[in-house]
Structure 1
Amino acid sequence: MNILVVEDEPIALEELESLLKSYEPGHTVYSAVNGLQGLELAKRHCPDLIVTDIRMPGMDGLELIRQIQQINPNVEAIIISGYDDFAYARTGLQLGVRDYLVKPWKQKSLLTVVGAILEQLSVRCEEKRKADNWKIIRELEGRNPYSEQIQALSGEWIIMVSTLNNLRSAHKWVEHEPLTKTTIAELLFSVHIVFPDSHLQVVLFPCDEGTTKAVLQQSVQHIHEAYANQGLNVHSIAVLKKDDELSHEAYARAIKMLEQQIRLESSTYTYLTTEYAAIDMIGVWNQIRALEALIANREIKHIRPQIDRIVMQIRVLKVPAKEIGSLVNDMFTALQFKLMPDRNSPYIDMEIITDTLMSITSYSELADSLEKWLLEFLWNLGGAGKEPRELVHKLMGQIRHGYHRTDSLIQFAAEHHISVSYLSRLFKAEAGMNFSEYLIRVKIDQAKQLLELETLSVSKVGERVGYEDSKYFSQQFKKYTGLTPSEYQKSCKILPPK
C-alpha cells in the first residue's frame, strides 16, 4: 500500500513520517510539505491512504482529498487539524474521510486508526486481486460471460505458461509460493500471475512502449530459470498475444505448444516460436516390434528387459511426453489388431493410460507402467498364467507356510517371471498392506501361537519365526500386540480355580 503524508509544519511532518515508516517495508510512505506537492506525488504513486493537515498554503487538505479521489476513488483519508472546527469535520465526512484527529494528537490513536485502515485495505485489495484473477482465468479459458465485452487483456501481451514435471503430476505450484513471490518481486515492472489449475502457472507480461523486447525475454527467462536453478523440472512456453487476437485463442495455442515440448526428467523452455524438430522414431518402433513378438509367443520373462530397452531409446531421443502417449496408444492398437483381430472393444482402457502418462515424471515410472499394462493385456488374452489376484493369494499362502524366508517376494517374482516392483503393487492392492507388513504380521501371529504353547523360551520363539536378535523380536512383538512376548505368555496362562 502507498501512504501519502502531507503537513506544512516541518516538525509535525517529520514526526508523522517517522511514525508511519514503522509500516514499511510492507507499505511505502511518501511525504509532502503542502497540498500542491502532495497532489504531484499522488499522480505518480496513486496513494491508498492519505494523512493530511487541513489548513495549508496553496491547497488545503480537503481540496487535496477531492482531487486525489479523482485519481483513486477508493482512497482512504485521515485529516489532522489544530482547529477543533466542526465545519471541517463535516466537510471531511462528506468526502468519506475515515477519521478526524485534533492536534495535539496522540501517537497511539493515530497508529490505531492507520493500522485498522491498512488492514481493511489489504483485505479489500486481496478480494479485488482474486476477482481480477478469476476474470483473467475465465478470459484465458474462453469462459467470459457474453455481457463482458471488454477484455482484461486487451492489446499485446506475452503469455508465459509453466508446469512442473508433467501436466498432471503430483507437483503443484502452491508448494513453491515463496519462490514465486520473490522472483516476481525482482522484475522491473508489474505482471499478472494466475493459476488456472494447481498444475499450471500463467504469468502475463504487458507489451507497452516502456518495455523493450529484450527486457521482456530476459524477464520470462529469469522466471523459468528461478525454478530450474532450484532443481525443479519446469516446462515453460511463452507466446505473443497479438493486439487483434482473443486471449483464449493465444492461451490455447500456448497450452498446445507446451504439451508438445514436455520431456520427462528435464526442464524445457520455448520463447515466441512454434518450430519443433521431428524425431526419428524408427529405432523405437523396431524395438516395439520385438516386444510384440515376445508377447505373441508369451515369453513373459523377456518382456521387462525389452521394455527397458524401449524406454532407454525414448530417453536418449528425448521423446516428448505427448508423443510417448501416442506411441503407447499405437502400440496397444497394433497388439490387439495382431493378437485378437476379431475383437472390437479394447482390452486396455486408453483413457486411463493417457491420464497416467500425463502424471508420470520419470522413465522408471514409464517402464513400470508399461509392464503393468502389458501384463494386464496378456492376462486378458488368457496366456500369462495365473490372474493377478490368484498370484497374490498364492504368495500369501507361501508366506503363511514359510514366514521365516525373507526373500520369498524376490524368489516368487522370479519364479513367475514378473518384476518385483509390479508384484509389490499387486500385493498391496489385494492385501491392503505391503509385503513386508504382511510378513511381519504373519510372523507375530505365529509367535503368539508358539508362546501360548509355553514349551519354548522367548528367544527360541523369536528364532523360529525368523528373528535372530531376541531384543528386536521383543520390540516388534510389542509394537503389534502392545505386550512384550513374556507379558503375552503370562497373560495366556490358565489360573487354577480358587
Structure 2
Amino acid sequence: MISVFLVEDEIVMREGIRNNINWAAEGYEFVGEAGDGELAYPMIRELKPDIVITDIRMPFMDGLELSRLIKKDLPSTRIIILSGYDDFQYAREAIGIGVTDYLLKPISGAQLLEAIGKVSDGIRAEQDQQRFMERYRKEREENRILEKRVLFRELVAGVRSMPEILDKGKSLGINLAAGAYGIVMFQMSLCDENQKEGEITESYSESIEKATKELRAKYNEAENVQVYEQLGGVFVFLVLGKDRQQTGESMDNLLKDLEELMADKSGLHYYAGRGIVVDRIREVGKSYESASKAFAHRFLYDTSMVFDGQGGNSHEAKSASINIDEIDIGKLDRRIVTGFLKNGSLEELEHFVEDFVENTGKGNFESLIFRQYISVDLYFTVVSFLESIGYSKDEITEKLGNIGDKQASLDDTKRTEEYINDILSKALEMRDKVSDSRYSSLINGARNYIYEHFSDEDISLNQVAASVNISPNHFSSVFKKETGETFIEFLTRVRMDKAKELLETTDMKAAEIGYQTGYRDPHYFSYIFKKTQNISPRQYREKE
C-alpha cells in the first residue's frame, strides 16, 4: 500500500485533506501529518513515506527547503507541492529540486486524488521494475552457480583445453589465469551428540547454514580464491597465485582463516584437506586428487582436523586432541566405519580402506588372527549400520553373505583388503538405495509444496528447502539431481503450465493470469512467458 504524509500549516486545510478522503478505500495509507517543515522532517525520515504532500509557504521551514532535505535523504520519495502562488519561479525551483507535481490551491479532494493516483502509478511501475530486476538477478545468479559447478568438474576432469577453460571462466566473470594452482577441500558437520542415529540425508542445521553464509560472504568475491560447492556440503577452494610459493602461502592463509571462522562455532566439527600445488591449469585434477585423498582421513576422526595431501603430517585444529593410549580399539574401529558409511562415497572408498588399514596397524595385518578379528568386527559394524537405516537381517545376509562365507579367503593382507572393499562397497550401494528413496520422498514433498504455493510471488528456494527440513544448498543440488531441473526452472515450468491452461480456458487478461501464477508485475510475466514459450501470451491465446 502506498504511504502518504501531509505537511500543511493551515489547520482547516490539513484536516480537510486528512478527513475528506477515505485513504484506505482508495488504496493508500495515511501515515502522518505536521504543521511545518521543521516538525515534519524528522517524522518523514523515520516513517519513509512513498509520497509527501506539502504546502510551499510555511513558517520555520517552507516546502522547498523541506523538499531539498527529503530528496537528499530519501531520493525515492515522491513530493507533491501545494501552492497558492501561480509563480513560475516557484515552479521552476520545485522542478529543479525533483518535485513530482506542483498543484495550485484551491484544490478539491478529487483533483488531489487524481494527482496522487498518477504519482502512485509511477511508484508502482518503478517497484515492478525493481522486482523484475531482482528476479532476473536471482535467476542469473542461480544459473551462474550451476555453470561454475560444471566448469569446475570439467577443470578437474581435464576435458577442456586451457583456452576453453579460460574463456568459459571469463564468461562467468572468473579469472582463472595464474602461475600456480592448489585445491583445499572443507566440510562442516554436527558433533556426534547432535546427529540422529540412522540419519543418512543431510537435514537442515541452522548452525551449519549460518556458518555457510559467513563462508560464502567472505570468499565469493575473493580475487585469488574460487569457491565451488559440492553435494554433501563440501566446499572446494581453488587457490590461484603467481607462482608456487605465493599459492602455497595463500593456501596456508586460507586454512588459518577457516580455522578462525570456526573458532566460535560450538556444536560443529570441521575438516579440511589440502592438495599439492601444481603449475598448469590442466593439472588442477592432480591437486584435487591429493586433496581428496587427504580429505578422506576425516572419517578416522571425530574432532576438527586439517589434513595435508602434500606428504606432510596431518595436523589437528587447535580445538582437537587425541590420545591413542586411551582409545578402546574396538570402539574406534566401529566409529570409524560407521562414520564412513554415513557420509562417505564410492569414490572415496579406496582411500578410506588404505587409511583404515594403515591406522589399524599395517604390520598387524600380517597376523591371520588379527585379520579375522578385524573382518568379523567390520562385518557386524556394517550389519548394525544397515539395520539402523531399515534393512532386515535377511536382506543384509542376502547381499553381504554370512559371516563365515569369506573367512577362508583372508589368507593374506591383499585379499583381506579386497574383502573390506567388497563389503563396504555393497553397504554403500545399499545405503544409497535407501538415501535415494528418502531423497525421492523429500523431492516429492518439495514438488507438492511448490504446486500448492507457486502463486505466491515470494516463494523461494530457502522456503521450499525449509518445508522439507534440508539445507538450501543441499536441496538445490539434490533437486537438480532428482528432477533434472533447477528449482527456478521447475517453478517457472509449473507457473507457465498453469498460465497456458488459463489462457486456453478463460477470458482472463494476461495481467490477471500473471497475478494468479505468482507474477505481480505483468511486464515480467510477459517477458518470462515469451522467453520460455517463444511466443507472447496474446499470441499463444490467438493460436489456441
Same fold (TM over 0.5): no
Q: Normalising by structure 2, report the TM-score.
A: 0.33
Structure having the larger proportion of residues in helix? 2
Give the number of the structure whose alpha-carbon radius of gyration is greater.
Answer: 1
Question: Which structure ranks higher in relative contact order (CA pairs < 8 Å, sequence separation ≥ 6)?
Answer: 2
